[in-house]
Structure 1
């Protein structure tokens, strides 16, 4: 079966494979930090997770000096929006312990 060819698949199969209208969009995130110890890192991660949780997003990743990972919606078949992406970027850029933030375009979370 060719997962990226949509014209030969029924809607039920597309839903199971998260294709077409059922794709879940998210984005990659990478930011450089000035955090050097694990106590500050734990506090940063707790605050970050609380913030993205309030936006309805979830995160997979981590890192001390380069914090990177992937963000997507918590609910099934829901896409991350450009507005949510902009909110996360603004929140990170407002922090003193973040020196730079880079993100990708919205990607299919299941096939990037």
Structure 2
């Protein structure tokens, strides 16, 4: 989807469309794992969700051997920071189940 032009929209409309100053930044994450059974997968996902919850982030995604998805802030109109992104990647790389971990640049969560 093409991002909206903001120069022809009033502030109220920009807020409703989550554009301009109201854009919410997040990032995609992808990691290759050596998980091959659902019991280990459940433990990994529970630990991951607990960790990102402590950073006030939320996640949408999943996958067994390739775990991927999108992370954004829980609160409306709040951006994910580069520091939070680095913390998530460091946490993933520290896990024994994860072979490699990658993250995208910060991007608009509503129009990626």
Report runs of 4+ in structure 1 exceeding 6 Å deviation: none
Match of 1:76 in 2: 76
CA distance in 1, matches of 2:21, 2:91: 30
TM-score (norm 2): 0.97
Match of 2:58 in 1: 58
Q: Deviations over 1:56-87 (max 9, x none)?
A: 00000000000000000000000000000000
Note the aligned Cα RMSD (angstroms): 1.0
Structure 1 runs not aligned, ≥5 long: none
TM-score (norm 1): 0.97
Q: Deviations over 1:11-51 (max 9, x none)?
A: 00000000011000000000000001000000000000000
CA distance in 1, matches of 2:58, 2:78: 12
Structure 2 runs not aligned, ≥5 long: none
Match of 1:107 in 2: 107
CA distance in 1, matches of 2:51, 2:3: 34
